[in-house]
Amino acid sequence: MLGSPAGAQEADGSDAAPSKPVFSNPFSGQEDIQAEGRTKFNVHCSHCHGPNAIQGERPRDLRRLTLRYGEKVAEVFLTTALDGRPDKGMPPWRNVMPEEELWKVFTFLGTVQKK
Ligand code: HEC
């Protein structure tokens, strides 16, 4: 038949979803991690993002992450934290804090999100 697809994607009967990195917090919902994440935040991030993330300047107000990014929040958080935004004054943390530590910070930030 003209125009009939070869059907390669149906070969194993599963949906051939494009593979992309998974951005999900391994500590999601773990209350014991929140305080640890807050401490790390206050050591590494608070001098720009405010003690306990209380910061009035919008671009730096990490309490607005969920409002700003919705379901992409974990992805935006991790990529921004790892790579920074050097042109905007946000340093990259890739060689400073392991991803695991950054997810702990993210777990804390989850407790202070504005709705
Ligand atoms: C030297 C100051 C500085 C430090 C330290 C810093 N940041 Fe930032 N960060 C910024 C600035 C400035 C911005 C806003 C960039 C912009 O305007 O897009 C920002 C933006 C961000 C954003 C994106 C916010 C948004 O709404 O798009 C995230 C996420 C973030 N920082 C996480 C962190 C984390 C986590 C730490 C600690 C590990 C940290 N930052 C430490 C300066 C800093």
In a domain, 91, yes or no: yes
* Number of domain units in the chain: 1
CB of 96 shorter than 6 A to ligand 1: no
pLDDT one-digit tens code per residue, 35-83: 999 999 999 999 999 999 999 999 999 999 999 999 999 999 999 999 9
CB of 85 shorter than 6 A to ligand 1: yes
CA distance 94 to 99: 8
In a domain, 41, yes or no: yes
Distance 31 CA to ligand 1 centre (A): 24
In a domain, 61, yes or no: yes
- Determine which residue's CA is closest to atom 40 belonging to ligand 1: 45
pLDDT one-digit tens code per residue, 16-44: 677 766 799 999 989 999 999 999 999 99
User: Which three-class secondary structure string do you get for the chain?
Assistant: CCCCCCCHHHCCCCCCCCCCCCCCCCCCCCHHHHHHHHHHHHHHCHHHHCHHHCCCCHHHCHHHHHHHHHHHHHHHHHHHHHHCEHHHCECCCCCCCCHHHHHHHHHHHCCCCCC
In a domain, 97, yes or no: yes
In a domain, 39, yes or no: yes
- Determine which residue's CA is closest to atom 11 belonging to ligand 1: 90
In a domain, 68, yes or no: yes
In a domain, 102, yes or no: yes
Q: Does the predicted TM-score (pTM) go above 0.85?
A: yes
In a domain, 21, yes or no: no
pLDDT one-digit tens code per residue, 89-110: 999 999 999 999 999 999 999 9
The residue range of the domain holding 79 is 27-109
For residue 77, give the CATH number of its domain.
Answer: 1.10.760.10
